Amino acid sequence: MLSATLFSCNSNKPAPAIPADKAVEAQVEKVLKGMSLEEKAGQLVQLNISVLEDDTHEAIDPAKLDKIIGQYKVGSILNVMHDAAHSREHTAAMVRQIQEKSMEAIGIPCIYGLDMIHGASYLIEGSLYPQEINLGATFNRKFARQMGHAMAYETRAAQVPWVFSPVMDLGRDPRWPRIWESYGEDPYLQAEMAREETLAIQGDDPNHVDLEHCAVSLKHFMGYGVPHSGKDRTPAYIAENDLREKFFAPFLECFRAGALTAMVNSASINGIPTHANALLLTGWVKEQLNWDGMLVTDWADIDNLYVRDHVAADKKEAVAMGINAGIDMIMDPYDPECCTAIVELVKEGKISQARLDDAVRRVLRLKVRLGLFDKPVWDGAYPEFASKQFADESYAAAVESEVLLKNEGDILPLKETARIFVTGPNANSLRALNGGWSYRWQGSADEFAPQYNTILEAIQNRFPHVSYEPGVVYDETSMAWQNEDASGIAKAVAAARKADVIVACVGENSYCETPGNMDDLNLSAAQKELVRELAATGKPVVLVLNEGRPRLIGDIEPLVQAVVDVMLPSNFGGDALAALLSGDENFSGKLPFTYSKHINALHTYDYKVSEHRETMGGSYNYDAVMDVQWPFGYGLSYTDFAYSNLSVVAGADRQSFQPGDVLKVSVDVTNTGKRAGKEAVLVYSSDLVASLIPDVKRLRAFDKVALQPGETKTLTFEIPASALAFVGADGRWRLEAGDFRISCGGLGVQLRCTETKVWDTPNI
Ligand code: BGC
């Protein structure tokens, strides 16, 4: 409750996160004035498209449209018919039909929203990019911009103006089934990439989003990614200072960049369901940021307040609880009676007229900002739709995202003439390469996009001598993704004996959300068995990990000569891998998460100094060892890079700085090897003594640089000293006098902050 007491008073309103536009506000007020209570209630409800579908599940039933839009005046629809991607034309025609009805019946456009997650993932011909976790591994902001641009452009081309992206949850617990939807475990990396994506999706002016851009929905606000049990949609317990300092930080960056909507965390933090958390929804976001955007619930999460969480007795109480906490739109998603509940609650005084009007204003403002009143539907050729340019960008992002983790004896690149045996359940699967949110919720790329190359096909296209046996195969039923058939192992091992090198493609089949829960983070027993038996042939093994989270492989890693983690690189991921394995391209991806080794030791890179024997400084706790498989930021290349001349200049002298200074960091990076390559340069800070146990280090800046053999470039970064502040025991941001270390590429510079500063605003 610290922040409640410290920062809940809003006497000094901060500058608005999105500057208000007079014409937008005037139009909102004009529409609001003419609305009945029923119309207002309808604007606060979002239903699933299934409530409009006819018996074919491919078209809208006009009678249902009359009921949902005409009678209940529902303001928003989401999702795809029949849980499947449709063509651009089909989607556009469906939205047009809804818009015509909405304009005719209530004179207010409906807003359609879709889960476009790594591109236009619900359009059959849409362009898909590697998932966010891969883009995190590129450490290259360009790809987040490109993906955001293509996603918004193609979504608009299908008459949809709102995407439920970017995903902002930090991938800090590998047990959680959604970590691949985020940019990784680090708040700064997440903030930087998501800001770029947000700007690319929305464009530069959130008050006037044009016909090539969409509104974002930052999700899921917040703390969703660290459930105590590791299972999706279960309670999290997060220290208040971590909540502000790490979990809120990426949201803050995107709200400040103009994000128009956010979707709320389905679960709970410290015992409070987020959908009922007025302090976070109204306090932190709406008041402390003076943000006039719109908060939408996640799927059925008002129901969850009474059905699952037992903080409300029934639906009506739950609706009042959510709206009074700050929810503006309820993703119900099946029951229009939610509208009736809102009407009754307002009449009974359980939702005030002021709160109702505030929520309606936020919905209307979004629709005005998107231009939907002027153009509920629009024309446009959208010539870049599914363009070669988007495909090329997706391929380039895949190349920069696949991470080389081990290359013993330089077994890679593979020799042109090698007899390559490709195996494993992931070798011939587009579904696995793409992961969830790909044409279907649970993923289904083989069904919708067979024209792309699996890993096997791409290797066959690139190398002359390729053989294949899967060894282990997945059950392709979407929810049964963990079931495996290992009866082919013997056949695979026999085939492997005839090869020079084995490329074993293991990992996970696609899944999404709660169906992705599991009880053991280890790579499956069947796949480990496959790898063990392959290794026993004595042939060198290249282990390819195609997985949404780092499945533990500590016991089999020593048996293989090379490891590449391709994560979820999407439709061009196979081509990218073949090019990397052959040496046509060079690796430059680095892990955006810590790859853990032991099930009882799941760490993040920003652990406390007191967690590790080497950083705690001579204590007796011999057990406290940070024994991870590969650390955050780890990734090899076919060339070598050397770092030199790290220098940090701040203020008047080189040894010290003050809270108002900007640290100017520069470092020389040289390609000392024989091949061209790209290097992600990561700059960290460490607070050496602080009033709360300091994190061992925190990422503060990064950039990606391309270097020819022998070439040196100087990289410069500016880090405001305030970025080194932390949230203290009293909930306030503080930068304390004392020593800091700035490190980069194994080099370090120590300097002293000469003054303590404590901020009295919640966000700095
Ligand atoms: C997911 C969200 C998604 C929503 C709408 C929920 O189950 O948690 O990420 O945006 O469904 O499809």
- Of 208, 217, 277, 274, residue with least CA distance to 18: 208
Mutate to test the pocket of ligand 1, among 298, 442, 511, 512 (most ligand atoms within 8 A of CB): 298
Looking at the structure, do residues 427 and 509 belong to the same domain, yes or no? yes
Residue 389 has pLDDT above 60, yes or no: yes
Residue 7 confidence (pLDDT): 58
Euclidean distance between CA atoms 18 and 365, whole angstroms: 12
Query: Is 621 among the domain residues?
Result: no
Neighbours of 696 (CB within 10 A): 20
Longest dimension (CA), the chain: 79
Question: Does 298 contact ligand 1 (Cβ within 6 A)?
Answer: yes
CA distance 497 to 664: 56
CATH number of the domain to which 214 belongs: 3.20.20.300
Residues with a known catalytic role = 298
- Evaluate whether residue 459 is within a structural domain: yes
Opening angle at CA 428, ends 427 and 429, nearest 5: 105
Q: Are residues 651 and 750 in the same domain?
A: yes
- Span from the CA of 298 to the centroid of ligand 1 (angstroms): 6
Do both 227 and 90 map to the same domain?
A: yes
Q: Cα(422)–Cα(417) distance, rounded to whole angstroms?
A: 15
What's the N-to-C CA distance of the chain in angstroms?
A: 20
Residue 582 has pLDDT above 80, yes or no: yes
Is residue 442 in contact with ligand 1, taking CB distance under 6 Å?
Answer: no
Out of 319, 349, 369, a domain closes at: 369
Atom nearest to 263 CA in ligand 1: 10
Q: pLDDT tens-digit profile of 35-85?
A: 999 999 999 999 999 999 999 999 999 999 999 999 999 999 999 999 999
| pLDDT number for residue 620 | 67
d(CA 307, CA 312): 8
Instruction: Give the span between the Cα atoms of 565 and 585, in whole angstroms.
Output: 16
Q: Are residues 298 and 212 in the same domain?
A: yes
- List the CATH number of the domain containing 650: 2.60.40.10
User: Is the beta carbon of 513 within 6 A of some atom in ligand 1?
Assistant: yes
Tokens 């099946």 belong to residue: 334
Find the mean pLDDT for residues 3-18.
Answer: 67
Shared domain check, 228 and 306: yes
Looking at residue 589, its pLDDT comes to: 98
Same domain, yes or no: 575 and 672 = no
Instruction: Extract the tokens encoding 456.
Output: 């096997």
The answer to whether the CB of 177 falls within 8 A of the CB of 517 is yes
Q: How many residues does the chain have?
A: 764
Is residue 48 in contact with ligand 1, taking CB distance under 6 Å? Answer: no
Q: Does any ligand 1 atom lie closer than 6 A to the CB of residue 115?
A: yes
In a domain, 504, yes or no: yes
Whether 506 and 531 have beta carbons less than 8 Å apart is answered as yes
Q: Report the pLDDT averaged over residues 441-470.
A: 97
Q: How many CA atoms lie within 13 A of 69 on its CB side?
A: 29
Task: Give the total number of structural domains in the chain.
Answer: 3
**Do 435 and 566 meet the contact criterion of CB atoms below 8 Å apart?**
no
Mean pLDDT of 536-546: 98
At 133, give phi and psi (nearest 5°).
-60, -35
304 CB within 6 A, ligand 1: no
Structure token pair of residue 600? 């009882």
- Please tell me whether residues 443 and 548 are part of one structural domain: yes
Beta bridge partners of residue 712, listed in sequence order: 670
Question: 314, 346, 369: which is the final residue of a domain?
Answer: 369
One-character DSSP codes across 682-748: EEEEEESS-SSPPBS-EEEEEEEEEE-TT-EEEEEEEEEGGGG-EE-TTS-EEE-SEEEEEEETTEE
Show Cβ contacts of residue 437 under 8 Å, excluding neighbours closer than 6 positions.
115, 117, 118, 121, 131, 181, 443, 512
Cβ of 596 less than 6 Å from ligand 1: no
- Residue 741, token pair as written in the block: 């270390």
Are 418 and 547 in a shared domain?
yes
pLDDT of residue 618: 66
pLDDT(125) > 90: yes
- Ligand 1 centroid to 560 CA: how many Å? 38
Same domain, 696 and 556: no
Percent above pLDDT 90 for the chain: 95
Q: Is the predicted pLDDT of residue 396 greater than 60, yes or no?
A: yes
What pLDDT does residue 616 have? Answer: 78
Q: What would the mean pLDDT of 607-614 be, rounded to a whole number? A: 87
Output the pLDDT for position 284.
98
CB atoms near residue 635 (< 10 Å)? 22
Q: Based on the fold, state whether residues 731 and 672 are members of the same structural domain.
A: yes
Determine whether the shortest distance from the Cβ of 79 to ligand 1 is under 6 A.
yes
Q: Which atom of ligand 1 is nearest to the CA of 331?
A: 5
CA distance 564 to 585: 14
What's residue 622's pLDDT? Answer: 65
Residue 9, pLDDT score: 45
What is the residue-averaged pLDDT of the chain? Answer: 96
Give the pLDDT confidence of 687-715 residue by residue, as tens digits. Answer: 999 999 999 999 999 999 999 999 999 99
Query: 151 lies in a domain?
Result: yes
**Nearest Cα residue to atom 11 of ligand 1:** 299
* Residue 621 confidence (pLDDT): 67
Residue 309 lies in a domain: yes
Q: Count CA atoms closer than 13 A to 347's CA, side-chain side.
A: 11
- Is there a domain that residue 32 lies in? no
pLDDT at 2 over 50: no
Q: Is the pLDDT of residue 453 over 50?
A: yes
Distance of CA 236 from the midpoint of ligand 1 (Å): 18
Helix or strand or coil: residue 14? coil
* Ordered DSSP codes for 268-293: EETTEEGGG-HIIIIIIIIITTT---
User: Which pLDDT value is given to residue 619?
Assistant: 63
Residue ranges of alpha helices (H) inside 139-285 are 141-157, 187-202, 240-242, 248-256, 278
Could you tell which of 116, 121, 164 is best to mutate to test the pocket of ligand 1, judged by most ligand atoms within 8 Å of the CB?
A: 164
Expressed in angstroms and rounded, the spacing between residue 331 Cα and the centre of ligand 1 is 9
Q: Are residues 362 and 407 in the same domain?
A: no
CA distances from 706 to 622, 680, 722 (A): 42, 9, 30
- 177 within a domain of the structure (yes/no): yes
Q: Give residue-wise pLDDT tens across range 266-280.
A: 999 999 999 999 999
- Look up residue 230 and give its DSSP letter: S
Q: Does 455 lie in the same domain as 354?
A: no
Q: Domain containing 574: what range?
A: 402-582
Which residues make Cβ contacts (< 8 Å) with residue 316, sequence separation at least 6?
341, 344, 345
CA 398, 403, 404 angle in degrees (round to 5)? Answer: 130
**In whole angstroms, what is the distance from residue 64 CA to residue 636 CA?**
57
Which domain-ending residue is among 551, 582, 613? 582
Q: Kindly state the average pLDDT of the residues 350-368.
A: 98
- The string of pLDDT tens digits covering residues 640-651 is 999 999 999 987
- Average pLDDT of span 397-407: 99
Give the pLDDT mean for 599-614: 91
Residue whose CA is at the smallest distance from ligand 1 atom 6: 299
In a domain, 603, yes or no: no
Task: Give the pLDDT confidence score for residue 613 in this predicted structure.
Answer: 79
| Residue 5 pLDDT class (50, 70, 90 cuts) | very low
The pLDDT confidence band at residue 243, using thresholds 50, 70 and 90, is very high
Confidence of residue 195 (pLDDT cuts 50, 70, 90): very high
152: tokens are: 């918004």
Q: Rounded to the nearest whole angstrom, what is the distance from the C-alpha of residue 247 to the centroid of ligand 1? A: 19
Q: If you measure from the C-alpha of residue 299 to the centroid of ligand 1, how many angstroms do you get, rounded to a whole number?
A: 6
Please report the pLDDT score of residue 439 as a whole number: 97
CATH of the domain at 546: 3.40.50.1700
Task: Determine the Cα–Cα distance for residues 148 and 156; give it in Å rounded to an integer.
Answer: 12
